[in-house]
Amino acid sequence: MSLTIVSFVGFTALVLGISYYITRKNDTSSQEGYFLAGRGLTGWVIAASLLLTNLSTEQMVGLNGQGYMFNMSGMGYEVGASLALIIVAFFFLPRYLKKGYATIPDFIGERYDATTKQFVNFLFLAGYVLILLPTVLYSGAIGMGGIFDIMGTFHVDYMTAIIVVVVAIGVLGVTYSLAGGLRIMAIADTLNGIGLIIGGLMIPVFALLYVGHGDMIGGLKTVIEAHPDKFNAIGGPSDPVPFLTMFTGMFLVNLFYWGCNQTIIQRALAAKNLKEGQKGLLLAATFKLFGPLYLIIPGIVAFHIFQDAPLEIGDMAYPMLVNKVLPFYLTGFFAAVLFGAILSSFNAALNSTSTLFMLNIYKPYIKPDASDKQVVFAGKVVAIILAVFSMCVAPLIAKAPSGLFNYLQMVNGFYNVPIFTLIIFGMLNKTAPAWSAKVTLIFFIIAYGLTQIPFAGKEMIPLLGPLSSLHFLHIMAILFVIAIAFMYVAGKFAPSTNTYDDSKDLHVVDTTPWNKSVVMSVAIVLCVFAIYVIFSKFGIAG
């Protein structure tokens, strides 16, 4: 255990030290320097930061938990993201960079009005503070607590172990935030990304070596022959991701997450130019194709290893597998890499939440005459308050029957697709009035909530019963179509007087596209198709 702790602390300190050294001379006293890294991020840094921001223990723990409990269908979140990133690179990012937006609500305000902008800003803040930040901390505590066996080592109960790890992650996350804003996070993400690729791929390798008694290929054959249905990515109605949802709600969720989610798109908004932004998005799309190797297959191998003594909680499959198969001398390094991924997601959410509050509430409404230094200082104070609040909420997150990751996606539905509806329709249509956007948000949230929250009078509302029986991703798609139709009709009969023009380039950064983007995108699409064939009845599962 002492070697594990030394290597863990050593690698974590090394990443923080190198990141601080590289960024120590960068100006973070201005709003743009602190919140958007001075708009100077390059493609590889953007790709690494996107992947690390996205990849944390809610994926490592949650998706592998789905693999343990169900099958490969959960890879729709990962492989489907590759297709979404292509669309973001060609459709969303050029529009954002032309206008020089710092936050997604900036577009909402310019396309609709200031009230709608604040409504969307509130939804983002509520989603991040009440859902995203606490979930990242809680899932991180599960992963790190399992790897270090904190309960057994220190003889404490489950909740105490969770609280200890939550506080550790929160405190170090705030340290990163205070040290240098988005830029130091992006550099740390790049360094941790190298370790994560190595560390993430180590787990399935050692797990298959364990099953095959030293023969990795033999171990893979054993697991496939024993559980072929587990390798089927074409999910049925009872699976976490039914295959048909890839063309309905899953498609919308992925587009929102990668193209409209402030936590994610803030990395691309900080691009040096459109070329580097597109390069970063498409590189990230390429790496997402390998996600199932370390995000779902280890969960399936864990199912095979622990089949004689099944785990009570599926989300414990990944940390239990790491403890089982990883050599003790690598545990500290892997824990440090995983800790870096947790910090990345936490820091990204913390920085984005602070950005949304400072630039959309504090600066325009609380202190309009605040200098850049005052805004940055107040942003750091807000980050500390948010971190403390998240640390208090995280241990209270209840267990979910379909797994932590699916629970997170379900509750995110209260704000992700409603906001996406306004953004995509606002970009494609110039006539929908601002009031229709507000009605759409309210309708979407209430209707979705009625289908997800159990209540006594369900049978009194027509169609609600049958609608509630559908997968939540299908429900999102149905409500999306209804909302789009409503906004279109509203625009026809009461057209907006807003003169928003998305073709005007403000020349904040160079918007010349990357010349290899089309070729790379075609290759990614072909790979997605091939992966789904491999993990189907036509491939391994057959």
**Residue 457 confidence (pLDDT):** 45
Domain boundaries, the chain: 2-402+520-534
- Is 201 in contact with 42 (CB distance < 8 Å)? no
**Residue 498 confidence (pLDDT):** 74
- Classify 214 in phi/psi space as left (phi over 0), alpha (psi -120 to 50) or beta: left
Helix (H) or strand (E) segment spanning residue 480: helix 472-493
Query: pLDDT, tens digit, for every residue of 460-470?
Result: 455 555 666 77
Write the burial class of residue 436 (CB in 10 Å: 0-12 exposed, 13-18 middle, 19+ buried). buried
Q: Which two tokens stand for residue 267?
A: 């990395």
**Residue 275 confidence (pLDDT):** 95
Q: Report the range of poorest mean pLDDT among 44-48, 184-188, 294-298, 531-535.
A: 184-188
Query: pLDDT, tens digit, for every residue of 397-443?
Result: 645 444 556 667 777 888 899 999 999 999 999 899 999 999 999 99
Please state, in angstroms and rounded to a whole number, the distance separating the CA atoms of residues 193 and 45.
10
With pLDDT > 90 as the criterion, what percentage of the chain qualifies?
35
Write the burial class of residue 396 (CB in 10 Å: 0-12 exposed, 13-18 middle, 19+ buried). exposed
User: Reduced to 3 states, what is the DSSP secondary structure of residue 242?
Assistant: strand
**Residue 463 confidence (pLDDT):** 56
Query: pLDDT, tens digit, for every residue of 244-265?
Result: 989 988 899 999 999 998 888 8
Please state, in angstroms and rounded to a whole number, the distance separating the CA atoms of residues 59 and 140.
10
**Pick the residue with more confidence: 405 or 197?**
197
Q: What are the Cα distances from residue 348, in Å, to 38, 136, 194?
A: 16, 11, 18
| Closest listed residue to residue 45, CA positions, set 340, 281, 274 | 281
Please state, in angstroms and rounded to a whole number, the distance separating the CA atoms of residues 48 and 453.
37
- 3.30.70.1520, 1.10.1040.10, 2.40.37.10, 1.20.1730.10: which CATH number matches 2-402+520-534? 1.20.1730.10
Please state, in angstroms and rounded to a whole number, the distance separating the CA atoms of residues 338 and 343.
9
- Is 126 in contact with 357 (CB distance < 8 Å)? no
Amino acid letter at 249?
Answer: G
